[in-house]
Amino acid sequence: MHTDPAQIRAFFAARAADWETRYPDDAPAYRAGVAELDLREGQAVLDAGCGTGRAMPFLREGVGASGVVLGADLTPEMLAAAARAGRGAYGGLLLADCARLPLRDDALDAVFAAGLIGHLPDPRACLRELARVTRNGGRLALFHPIGRAALAARQGRELTSDDLRAEPNLGPLLESSGWTLTSYTDTDEGFLAMASAKAEAGADTDA
């Protein structure tokens, strides 16, 4: 676990150049993960921790030409690799910390976050910020192209019950940061937790 943004940047900067050649067969899984957001023409969607922007072509397909796609990442080298891969053609590439986004409240209809939350020193702060910029009822997809057990095995570590993405931990984490967990899938084929943005407590609820 990284404890500060500088560590995270250094970790991913070293991996940016060959990020996609390491995982060349993941595109169908990304397409399927994005499909779960059920995006509509004209909507606004953020790829949080976009890396090289692998999901951005699918996000653009979802929102169409009139929609808005943004990819935000903390690591300049990842964004440079995204630009080299032509991902800027699918949306805006933004150097930003997902815990402090330069976006207005309720700006987004949906957020896709692949491989992000396991790397955050303060996941609750990031999830709260994502909830702030997402409209009430907007959707969040926390995605990984392989499941937790397979990822732990690949990394040579044991899967423990305190794993952030275990359902008994993730549900309350989302609940305390502005989201409601609506579905949870964790198999060797992939991880996908879907959540819905809650109305802020005390917010106007015009009937």
Ligand X SMILES: C[S@@+](CC[C@H](N)C(=O)[O-])C[C@H]1O[C@@H](n2cnc3c(N)ncnc32)[C@H](O)[C@@H]1O
* Chain contacts with ligand X (rule: CB under 6 A): 8, 12, 49-52, 54, 72-75, 78, 97-99, 114-116, 119-120, 126
Closest CA to 130 of 107, 114, 160: 107
Minimum CB distance to ligand X, residue 136 (Å): 23
Residue nearer to ligand X on the CB measure, 36 or 136: 36
Type and span of the H or E element at 168? helix 167-175
Minimum CB distance to ligand X, residue 15 (Å): 8
Residue nearer to ligand X on the CB measure, 126 or 195: 126
Residue nearer to ligand X on the CB measure, 89 or 199: 89
C-alpha to C-alpha distance for 77 and 83, rounded to whole angstroms: 10
Minimum CB distance to ligand X, residue 126 (Å): 6
> What number of other Cβ atoms are within 10 A of residue 9's Cβ?
17
**Residue number with the shortest CB distance to ligand X?**
51
Residue nearer to ligand X on the CB measure, 42 or 92: 92
Q: Are strands 179-187 and 134-144 parallel, antiparallel or unpaired?
A: unpaired
What phi, psi does 164 have (nearest 5°)?
A: -55, -35
Type and span of the H or E element at 182? strand 179-187
Minimum CB distance to ligand X, residue 98 (Å): 4
